[in-house]
Amino acid sequence: MSRPGKTKFQIDLRRHLREHEVDDNLTHLICEIAEASKYIIHSLRTGELGVAGTSNLYGEQQLELDVLADRILRKRLDHSRVVANMMSEEMDEIIPVSPDCEGKYSVAFDPLDGSSLVDVNLAVGTIVSIFEGCDLLQPGRNQVAAMYILYGPRTTLVYSVGSGVHEFGMNSLMEYTLLHENITIEPRGSLYSPGGQRNLYTPGTEAFVTHLEERGVKLRYSGGFVPDINQVLLKGQGIFFYPHLKNLPQGKLRLLFEVSPMAFLIEQAGGAASNGHRRILDLQPDKIHGRSPVFIGCKEDVRLAEEFIRKLETDQTSDGGKKRQQKAAAS
C-alpha cells in the first residue's frame, strides 16, 4: 500500500483499519480493545500481585491481575455499543451484552494470558477472537478478526481481519503505530517452543521432538503463549506446540480464546495450526472452555508433527488409535 508523504510509523491502528476498508463497527471494536490495553498496562506496572486490599483504577478492591484485566476489558466491551455477546477465560458463562445481533460482534478473550509470569517479570499478553453476530461456538475459520497485545519490553499489538497480519508498536503517546505489515512465515523453521512436560509426551510428539533436535532446531520457550507465538511470527519461522499429554488428552490451552485466534493469525501469515490430526480452524467447539492440543507455526513442521502422530499413535495401537482418531475427528 503506497502512502505518499507518510512513514509507516505515522500509520496508526485506526488509519490502517480504514485503509483496509474494515467495517466501522469492527474498527471501533478493535480500537476499543486497543484502548483497554492501556489500562491493563497500568495495572501490570502498578497493580499488586494478588488480592492486596488496596483499590484499583475503578475504585474497586484490588484484585488478582487476571480478574482486573478482565474487568477492564468487560467494561470497554459493555459500553462499546457493538458487542452482542462476550466470554473470557475468567467468566463461567457467555455474557449477553445486547439483545440484537445485527451489525454487532461477539468476542472471546483471554484478558491476561500467562499471568503467573508477571511476578517473575516475564512477558504476558491479551488474546482476542471476534465473530460477526451472536454465536461464539463456531469453527475458528469463521472469525472476522483476531488480535493480541503483548506486554513485553515494548508493548505491541498484532491483528488480522483476514487480509494479512500486521504488527503495531505503542509509542510515547501510547498510540499504536505500524511496525510490520503483511508478516509472513517460512515453510520450515529452526526454533521450537515445546509446552507441557516432556515425560508426559505421547510417542508421536516424542519422536517429533527427537527429529527436531537431530535437525539442530533451537529450543525457545518462555511459558507465555503470546510471547512464544509472537516470536514465531516476528522471526518468520518456528513451531510452538502444547500437545495432547498422557494425562491431558486435550492438552492445556483453551480453543475459543487462546488457540483459535492464534491459529487465525498464524494462517494469515502463511503458517499452519493443527490439533495433531486436523486444522484448528475447522474444529467445531462444543463448549466455551473446551481445550485443544495445538501444533502451530511453519507449515511443513506442523505437517511433520501430524505425520509422526499418525504413524506412531494411530497405526500401532489398533482400537486405541481408531478411538483416538474418531475422537479427534469429532472434536
111 within 8 A of 88, measured Cβ to Cβ: yes
Residue 115 as a binder of ligand AHG (CB under 6 A): the answer is yes
Q: Of 172 and 199, which has the nearer Cβ to ligand AHG? A: 199
**Considering beta carbons, is residue 73 or 191 the nearer one to Mn ion?**
73
Task: Let me know: does 99 contact 211? Beta carbons within 8 Å.
Answer: no
- Restricted to residues 195-224, the positions that interact with ligand AHG (CB under 6 A) are 195-196, 223-224
Residue 224 binds: one of Mn ion, ligand AHG, none (C-beta under 5 to 8 A by kind): ligand AHG
- All 3 cell numbers of residue 202? 505421547
Q: Report d(CA 117, CA 151) in Å as an integer.
A: 11
Out of Mn ion, ligand AHG, none, what residue 191 binds, judged by CB under 5 to 8 A for its kind, is none
Q: Does 109 engage in binding with ligand AHG (CB under 6 A)? A: no
**Given phi > 0 = left and psi -120 to 50 = alpha, else beta, which region is 124?**
beta
Nearest residue to the partner ligand AHG, using Cβ: 225
Residues in the chain: 331
3-state secondary structure of 224: coil
* Among residues 12, 70, 90, 110, the one that binds ligand AHG under rule CB under 6 A: 110
H and E: helices and strands count for the chain:
8, 13
Residue 110 contacts Mn ion per CB under 5 A:
yes
Task: Determine contact, residues 88/73, Cβ cutoff 8 Å.
Answer: yes
Residue 57-96 contact track with Mn ion, rule CB under 5 A, x = bound = --------------------------------x-------
Minimal distance, residue 9 CB to Mn ion, in Å: 31
- Sort residue 121 into left (φ over 0), alpha (ψ -120 to 50) or beta: left
- Provide the minimum distance between the beta carbon of 231 and Mn ion in the complex, in angstroms, as a whole number: 17
Distance (Å) of CA 178 to CA 111, 156, 231, 261, 296: 23, 10, 18, 20, 25
Distance in angstroms (rounded) separating the CA atoms of residues 269 and 319: 37
Q: What are phi and psi of 291, to 5 degrees?
A: -105, 165
Give the nearest distance from C-beta 291 to ligand AHG in angstroms. Answer: 11
Nearest approach in angstroms of CB 193 to ligand AHG is 8
Q: Are 74 and 58 contacting, i.e. CB atoms less than 8 angstroms apart?
A: no
Site map 176..215 versus Mn ion, x via CB under 5 A? ----------------------------------------
Total number of residues that touch Mn ion (CB under 5 A): 4
Contact between 301 and Mn ion (CB under 5 A)? no
Which residues are near ligand AHG by CB under 6 A?
89, 110, 113-116, 195-196, 223-225, 242, 252
